[in-house]
Structure 1
Amino acid sequence: MIDNLLLLTQVPILGVDLVIQGLFIGAIFALVAYGLALVWGVMNVKNLAQGDMVILGGYISYQATLWGYHPIVALPVAIVVMFMLGWLIYAVIIRRVVDRDMFTSLLATFGLSLLIQQILNLIYGPEVKVADAGFGDFELGTFIVIQNVRLYSLLMAAALALAIVIFMKKSRMGQAIRATAQDARAARVLGIDTDQVYAFTYALNAAICGAAGVLVAMIWVIQPYYGIVYSIRAFIIVTAAGLGNLPGVILTGFGLGVWENVAGFVFGAEFAVAAVVLMLVAVLMYRLVQLYRVRQVVR
C-alpha cells in the first residue's frame, strides 16, 4: 500500500488516469442507482435484486454474441425485454409487498435475487463471461490509456439518463410517477391509477438495469453471483445522495467510481469491493449521526 502511494506521488499522471477511469465506470453506477432511487422513492421498496437485474441484462448482451451479433445490438433488446420482465415481476411478486412493511419487501426481493442467480447459473454455468465489443483503445500521453468501450458507455449512459429525465418531466406517466412519489393517497384522489404507476416504475427500473448490464458486460466480466456488488453500490449512492435527488445520484455515482478505482490501486484489486462496503458503513454512520441531531433539536 505504501509503495503504491509513493508511486502516485512520484508519477502524478497515474492519479489522473485513475480519476478518469473512475469517472467512466461511475456513470454506469449512477445509472443503476437512479433506477433504485425510482423504486425506493415511488414505491418504498428496497430492491435487493437490483444488481441481479444488471447481471441479467449483461447476459442478454452475452447471448447476442453467442448468436453472432455485436453486443451493442443487444442494448435496445435488453431494454425492451427487461421492461416486460419487470412488469411481470411486479404483477407476480412486488404488487403483494408494496403496502407491507420494509422487511417484507426486503425478503421478497432477496428471494427474487436468489431465483435470478440460480436460473442464470443453470443456463450459463458459474464461469465468468464477457461480451467482447472489440472497440480498441486510444492513448492520452504515456500513462493514460482509455478503452473506447468505456468512452462509448459513458456517452450511452448520459444519453439514457437524459432520456429518462425528459420522460419524467414531459410525459403524463412521468408526471404521474412524480405525483405518486410525493403523495400516493393524494394521487389516487386526483384519479391516478397508482397500481399502474407502480408497475411502470418497476418495469422502467428493470429496463434501466438491463441497459446498464449491457454496458457492464462489454467493460468487465459477468457471473451469476456478481449482482450483490452492484446492489451494494446502488444502495450506497442512493443513501448518500438521497431520494429524488438526481444530480446528487449522478455526482455520488461518479465519486464512488473514482473512490473504488483509486482504492483498488492503493490497497490492491482484491480490496476494491471491501472499500465499497466500508463506504456504505461510513455513509450509514453519517446518516445516523444526522438523524440523532435532528431528534435532539426536536426534543
Structure 2
Amino acid sequence: MLDNISILFQAPIFAVDLLVQGLLIGGIFVLAAYGLALVWGVMNVKNLAQGDMVILGGYVAYQCTLWGMHPIIALPIAFMLLFALGWGIYATIIRRVVDRDMFTSLLATFGLSLLIQQALNLRFGPEVKIAESGFGTLDFGDLTIPAIRFVGLGLAAVLAVGLVLFMRNSRMGQAIRATAQDPRAARVLGINTDRVYAFTYALNAAICGAAGVLVAMIWNIQPFYGIVHSIRAFIIVTAAGLGNLPGVVVAGFGLGVWENYSGFIFGAEFAVAAVVIVLVLVLMVRLFQMYRVRQVVR
C-alpha cells in the first residue's frame, strides 16, 4: 500500500490518470443514483433491486452484440424495454408495498433482486461478459484513456439533462414533483397518484437500463454484480440527501474518484470493500446528525 502511495507522488501522471478516469465513471454512478433518488423521494420505496436493473440493461447490450448490433444501439432499446418491465413490476409487486412500512418494501425488492439474478444466471450463465464497443483509446500526452469512457460520460450527461428538462417542463414531471411534496394534496387536486407512482418506477427502471448499457461497454457484467451498483447508488443518495440533485452529482463523481484511487492504492480486490466502508461512514455521519437535532418531547 505504501509503495503504491509513493508511486502517486513520484509519478503524478498516475494520480492525474486516476482522477480523470474516476470522474468519467462517476457520471454513470450519478445516472443510476438519480433513479434511486426518484423512487425513494416520490414513493418512499428503498429499491434493493436497483443494481440488478442496471445489470439487466447491460445484458440487453450484450444480447444486441450477439445479434451483430453495436451496443450503443442497445441504449434506446434497453430504455424502452426496462420502462415496460418497470411498469409491469410496479403493477404486480411495488403497488402492494408503497403504503407499507420500510421493511416490507425492502423485503419485496430484495426478492425481486434475487429473481432478476437467477433469471440472468439461467439465461446467460455465471461467466463474466462485456459488450465490446470498439472505440479504442485516446492519447493525451502520457495519458491513455479508453474512448468509451468519454462516450459514456457524454451519453450519461445527455440523459441527465433530458431527465431534468422532463421533470421541469412536462405535465407528468410536474405531477411527479407535486406527488413527492404531498401525495394527499396531489390526489385532492386531481392527480392520479397511482399512475404517477407507476410512471416513476418505470422511469427509474429505464434509467437503470440505460446506465447498464454504459456499464456493459466500460466494465464487465455478471448476473450477481448488481449488489455493488445498488450499494453505490445508496451511498450517493444517502450522502447527498433526497431531492438534492447537485449533491447527487457531486457525490457520484466523488465516489468514482474514491473508488479509482482506492483500487490502485489497496488493490483491485479491495475496491468494493472501500465502497462499503464509505457506506458505513455515511450512515454513521447521518446517524450523528439525527442525534444532534433530536429533541426531548415534553
Q: TM-score with structure 2 length normalisation?
A: 0.99
2:7 maps to 1:7: yes
Q: Distance in 1 between matches of 2:130 and 2:222?
A: 9
Percent identity of paired positions between Structure 1 and Structure 2: 76
Shift of 1:147: 0.8
User: Which stretch shifts more, 173-182 or 8-17?
Assistant: 8-17
CA distance in 1, matches of 2:67, 2:86: 24
> Could you tell me which amino acid in structure 2 is paired with residue 12 of structure 1?
P
In structure 1, what is the Cα distance between the partners aligned to 2:134 and 2:188?
53
SS in 1 for 2:118: helix
Counterparts of 1:67-86 in structure 2, within 5 Å, are 67-86=67-86
d(CA) in 1 for partners of 2:7, 2:151: 30
> Could you say which residue in structure 2 is the equivalent of 1:22?
22
Report deviation, 1:258: 0.2
- Write out per-residue CA displacement over residues 156-185 of structure 1, whole angstroms, 9 at most, x where no aligned residue: 000000000000000000000000000000
What is the deviation of 1:298? Answer: 7.8
Q: Post-superposition, which runs of at least 4 consecutive aligned residues in structure 1 deviate over 2 A?
A: 296-299
Partner of 1:231: 230
- Describe how 1:1-299 pairs up with structure 2 within 5 A: 1-142=1-142, 144-296=143-295
Normalised by the size of structure 1, how large is the TM-score?
A: 0.99
Unmatched 5+ stretches in structure 2: none
The one-letter code sitting in structure 2 at the alignment partner of 1:79 is: F
12-21 vs 107-116, which deviates more? 12-21
Paired with 2:12 and 2:135, the residues of 1 have a C-alpha distance of 28
Deviation string for 1:173-215 (max 9, x for gaps)?
A: 0000000000000100110000000000000000000000000
Bigger mean CA deviation after superposition, 41-50 or 6-15: 6-15
Q: 1:19 to 1:98 in 2, by over 3 A?
A: same
Q: Give the unaligned 5+ runs of structure 1.
A: none
The CA RMSD over aligned residues, in Å, is 0.9
Instruction: Return the alpha-carbon distance in structure 2 between the equivalents of residues 269 and 25 of structure 1.
Output: 16
SS at match of 1:145: strand
Tell me, in whole angstroms, the C-alpha distance in 1 between the residues paired with 2:54 and 2:248.
17
Distance (Å, rounded) in 2 between the aligned partners of 1:203 and 1:263: 34
Please give the alpha-carbon distance, in whole angstroms, between the structure 2 residues aligned to 1:256 and 1:141: 26
* Structure-1 separation of matches of 2:279 and 2:153: 24
- Count of residue correspondences: 298
Alpha-carbon distance, 1:138 to partner: 1.1
Structure-2 separation of matches of 1:16 and 1:149: 18
